[in-house]
Amino acid sequence: MFDEIMEKFEGSPSQQAVIRLLLERGFSVNDEGRVVSGGIEIPNTGIAREIDVDRRVVDSTTDTILEDPELRRIFQNISQVPSLMDLAPVLDLTVLSIAVADPESKGIVAGVTGTLADNDVSIRQTISEDPEFTDEPRLYLITDQELSGEAITALRNLEFVRKIEIQ
């Protein structure tokens, strides 16, 4: 789906940058063509400054979104999910990042969460990056405890795990 969205803007790398930002941040576009997060309007100048484009690029991108029924349906229904990852150090949480060999394989989340459950690790939050939106998607798990050596070894032994990082 990501590639199909980006193809609609293939003639404009600047508009593609706007689309990427909207998707990454979970920003939607309202009926007036304004970028919003929930009911809060995000100024186009702020978006433009963030990705180093002219404000008019943001305007033309949102106009295109509203003119295309498929894009309109997608971008009017995006929502943001709060993440504990940035708060982890403040709240004394552990962030486990897992990179896998084939992110489109079945059973990745089940295998990891099952392995953690088998090792008595409670999960506070799980975030899975979409392989269509990210070049190297990762699975993030936030726990309120440190992982034992046995739990880390069990995760490393999962056939699909390529790399583990703990923060």
Give the pLDDT score at 104. 85
Give the pLDDT score at 132. 77
Degrees to nearest 5, angle at CA 150 with 131 and 87: 55
Give the pLDDT score at 57. 98
pTM metric for this prediction: 0.78
Residue-level pLDDT, tens digit, the chain, 167 residues: 788 999 999 999 999 999 999 998 999 999 999 999 998 999 999 999 999 999 999 999 999 999 999 999 999 999 888 899 999 999 999 999 999 999 888 999 999 999 999 999 999 999 998 887 777 889 999 999 999 999 999 999 999 999 999 99
If phi > 0 it is left, if psi is from -120 to 50 it is alpha, else beta; for residue 26 that is left
Q: Where in the chain is the domain with CATH 3.30.70.260?
A: 88-166
C-alpha distance from residue 142 to each of 92, 134, 165 (Å): 10, 20, 12
Q: What is the CATH number of domain 88-166?
A: 3.30.70.260
| Residue 79: how many other CB atoms lie within 10 Å | 9
Give the pLDDT score at 53. 97
